[in-house]
Copies of this chain bind each other. A is one copy, B any other.
């Protein structure tokens, strides 16, 4: 039965009293979820690593890796999955009213509680209570999301215009409810299994998280084995879990901004809590000289400015990239989540690089860990671009496509941090004199590299021109040609 068509353009807002644009609700949800995903690095960063030359940093880091870093990464992943589900839901529901806003807040309250249940699970791996609490939260979230869907479909003017004018609205409703309820139902079984054989519950929970990816893989394998199978109708644009299903670009940006902002802020929070000396200590140990007392904290300040510069520039690269991205897909969103998970690790890098005595082996290893974190944060940003280039007609602005005038410059921007991190990593292996202050000074000088990057790209292209085709005199056409020259190896890399 076709539903009555109601157009709800922004100018038609007066038509339904109490109906509101969902923009700000979503921005607030993004801010909440990104902060929740990232603050779980604090318990990791605040773990004191023993400075014992016999028991090397590698061992304490391994201890960290096994428990707290795993909690952080899993929390980040689970919260990201919850966030992706939230995006999907509000791509279907584009307008809200008071009731939906309150239901969404209830949903947010439970999502922010997830990290705690996860901490319990990690601390008491053999106790079922953590699993039960986690499953309980997920089930309640599922019920609230189903309520949101039912409420929205009972008031069709709240829905996406495509669904509003669709003839099989009921089909959409059932499909969406089915997808949403799949997770709480599996959690219900996981909580029952936890009483019988709790290891199975963990496996089941892992399956739940990776379910869309697993089902996509299975589908892909099947299509390769028995030929192309199209089982979803063409009209089904939502909840497909295809890697190229669109993901709201605004919300990916808002989520990323939240992560970058909270990471930059956690750095200064540590400074403010730990590095204000006690007046009595200043009086006793430094004879009342505040400057002398603060000089002790010199490395901290340098580490702060260096880390802030790194976070700020990684945001800058992200910003430059997404400025030229016209459509975000689920796969790009996944790569972005991986990049952000490493960005969230930067407070740990900051903490490690300034807490060891200079020229110790621990210090070098702390710098190496920082390089690894920065390298992966940067390389996943580059990966987003590579994926976008695969389908450049749909996902990229003409400027940065192959042959676009900003193409090489964008590549240089995205490649700068992975290259610098890799270079620094190898420097630490060769030079034993390399120290944390040098590392932080390097971090502070990178912004200037970005300022001269455009000139460097020009020079690089001119050099390539000199080497490969020195007989072409016209610089303008040659620069165009150079674009082609440099593209060839990159193309080979991609395909």
Chain A contacts with B in 286-335, Cβ cutoff 8 A = 290-291, 294, 304-305, 308-309, 312-313, 315-316, 319-320, 322-323
Known: A109-B305, A112-B268. A98 touches B450 (CB 8 A): yes
Tell me the interface secondary structure of chain A in the complex: helix
Report the minimal beta-carbon distance from A107 to chain B, rounded to whole angstroms: 11
Choose among B105, B276, B309 the residue that contacts A316 (Cβ–Cβ < 8 A): B105
Choose among B20, B113, B265 the residue that contacts A323 (Cβ–Cβ < 8 A): B20
> For the complex, is A3 an interface residue (Cβ under 8 Å from B)?
no
Chain A contacts with B in 256-273, Cβ cutoff 8 A = 257-258, 260-262, 264-265, 268-269, 271-273
> For the complex, is A25 an interface residue (Cβ under 8 Å from B)?
yes
> For the complex, is A367 an interface residue (Cβ under 8 Å from B)?
no
B257 near A24 with CB under 8 A, answer: yes
Query: Chain B contacts of A35 at CB under 8 A?
Result: 261-262, 265
Known: A24-B319, A25-B319. A265 touches B102 (CB 8 A): no
Closest chain B residue to A122 by CB distance? B276
A309 near B27 with CB under 8 A, answer: no
Query: Chain B contacts of A42 at CB under 8 A?
Result: 269, 273
> For the complex, is A116 an interface residue (Cβ under 8 Å from B)?
yes
Chain A contacts with B in 45-70, Cβ cutoff 8 A = 46
Report the minimal beta-carbon distance from A460 to chain B, rounded to whole angstroms: 18
A109 near B261 with CB under 8 A, answer: no
Known: A36-B265, A112-B268, A272-B40. A290 touches B28 (CB 8 A): no
A257 near B451 with CB under 8 A, answer: no
A116 near B24 with CB under 8 A, answer: no
> For the complex, is A124 an interface residue (Cβ under 8 Å from B)?
yes
B265 near A32 with CB under 8 A, answer: yes
> For the complex, is A99 an interface residue (Cβ under 8 Å from B)?
yes
Choose among B129, B258, B312 the residue that contacts A290 (Cβ–Cβ < 8 A): B129
B316 near A101 with CB under 8 A, answer: yes
B261 near A294 with CB under 8 A, answer: no
> For the complex, is A240 an interface residue (Cβ under 8 Å from B)?
no
| Complex-state Cα separation, A20 to B323, whole angstroms | 8
Query: Chain B contacts of A39 at CB under 8 A?
Result: 265, 268-269, 272
- Scan A368-409; emit 1 where CB is below 8 A from any B CB, else 0: 000000000000000000000000000000010000011000
> For the complex, is A447 an interface residue (Cβ under 8 Å from B)?
yes
Known: A28-B260, A129-B291, A257-B27. A447 touches B102 (CB 8 A): yes
> For the complex, is A254 an interface residue (Cβ under 8 Å from B)?
yes
> For the complex, is A138 an interface residue (Cβ under 8 Å from B)?
no
Closest chain B residue to A319 by CB distance? B24
| Complex-state Cα separation, A313 to B17, whole angstroms | 20
Report the minimal beta-carbon distance from A209 to chain B, rounded to whole angstroms: 20
Known: A31-B261, A98-B316, A129-B294. 16 other contacts (CB 8 A): A24-B319, A28-B257, A28-B261, A31-B31, A31-B257, A32-B261, A32-B264, A39-B272, A42-B273, A98-B451, A101-B319, A105-B447, A109-B309, A112-B268, A124-B282, A127-B290
16 A–B contacts, CB within 8 A, in A order: A17-B399, A24-B322, A31-B258, A32-B264, A39-B265, A42-B273, A98-B451, A101-B316, A102-B316, A102-B450, A105-B313, A105-B316, A112-B265, A123-B276, A123-B277, A124-B282
Interface residues of A (CB under 8 A from B): 17-18, 20-21, 24-25, 27-28, 31-32, 35-36, 39-40, 42-43, 46, 98-99, 101-102, 105-106, 108-109, 112-113, 115-116, 119-120, 123-124, 127, 129-130, 253-254, 257-258, 260-262, 264-265, 268-269, 271-273, 275-277, 279, 282, 290-291, 294, 304-305, 308-309, 312-313, 315-316, 319-320, 322-323, 399, 405-406, 447, 450-451
Top 4 closest A-B pairs, CB basis? Answer: A31-B261, A105-B312, A35-B265, A28-B257
